[in-house]
Chain A
Amino acid sequence: MQYEEVATTEEGNLVINVGPQHPATHGVMHLVITLNGETILKVEPHLGYIHRSIEKMCESLSYRQFIYSTSRMDYLSAHINNHGCALAVEKGLQIEVPERAKVIRVLMDELTRVASHVLWWGAMAMDVGALTPFFHAFRERELINDIMEETCGARLTMNYMVPGGVMADLHPDFVRKVKDFVAFFRTKIDEYDTLITHNVIFQGRMKGVGVISAADAVSYGCTGPVLRACGVKCDIRKLSPYDGYEKLNFEEPLETAGDSYARYLQRMRELRESLSIIDQLIDNIPEGDFQAKTKAVLKLPKGEFYSRVETARGEFGVYIISEGGLTPYRIHFRSPGFNNLAALDHMARGQKIGDLVAIMGTLDLVIPDIDR
């Protein structure tokens, strides 16, 4: 874990600024990399280009309002972020969420996870130089966005989860469209495998690259697919199930190699698991209310409340300190991207520039999630 300092000014070493505007960072992130020829000696991420002080803003918003700002953090897991916040507030107020709302939430979470992983797949392929998969990925993602749009009224920052349930009931077409999508998407995943997973060049770029051991990944605080690709069980849906995940029959896929290819396979397997969760629930949506009856003005009792959920990128934690007022005293979000990024330096040392881009692709970084 301990590294010797790399002299950036040493003769022959080249320091390059990757970003803040660079096609590989998928957002405004700044990496200062030290190179010796093509080999990377050090990667130093510089953050803060898209910092919007969301945590501070939340201190002046009510418990109904602050949830909406979390859609803007990890915009690819907007539903799941909202879900985590709603859970924390419900924990504080001890609201019993109706069964129907729970199922809807899980369905939406899993659809979001599929949409996020699909986009990751396209972007990942683009990082290693294959441009076509990006368009294939968007073809599928559009279908999910359409489903979201009908039910939630928005395509990216849905703001659908509220304390006590969900904002509105499902659209009448929801079940049919989701079924169509799942059937369509299952054929497409196989196509993804033929196009990219089994590609010799792609495997050559991925295997044995960006290796991180389970112990190192844990000490960096990596979560989600990045940690699971090292063989550590860390799925919050299994560890501390919420909203009915305990009743579902799904596996937690585990890869063990800890390299880029393991992280890739990990996400591909999770895609299939998400589809099976959707399959289990889509025919069994219970009747009833979609929202519990709550007071118009929510006031959390004095105390500290924590909830955690599994987003597409890993563990998302919401920590609320309440003084009993209308707004939280302090809110902290534990975002998965920040910790996963921390491991980048460890993974990239000694690799080539092209590998750095591939490793960043497999970390699935969403920059607004890192900066908040």
Chain B
Amino acid sequence: MTTAVEASLARLLDSPGVIGVALVDAVTGLTYGVAGDSEEAAGGAECAELAALIVERLGQAGAEGELESVITTSARRHQVLLAVTRPAGDPLLLAAGMDRERANLALATRSLGDRVAEVLA
């Protein structure tokens, strides 16, 4: 059965090169839904921990402002964590795995960022 979250996430798979996406609670690490290749989207708990660690270290280094995204690149894949803010409630993370050959990282990140608000609709 497709849930409302999964249905929203599935729409993001249209973006070129996006292989898998997951919607994760940025605080608890709970995964609310996955679309596409779940392996490529990475585990929720790890995503949340990674993002929390980065926020903490950036804070120690004197950086200010909420986290926007974490981008990891490798020879074959890109992994993007995008912060999803909501009107009320704890922040979420959209984790997206991309095929490096097919995805233009800048464009794909931009388009995911533009569409991220749709996920909660």
Q: Do A and B bind each other?
A: no
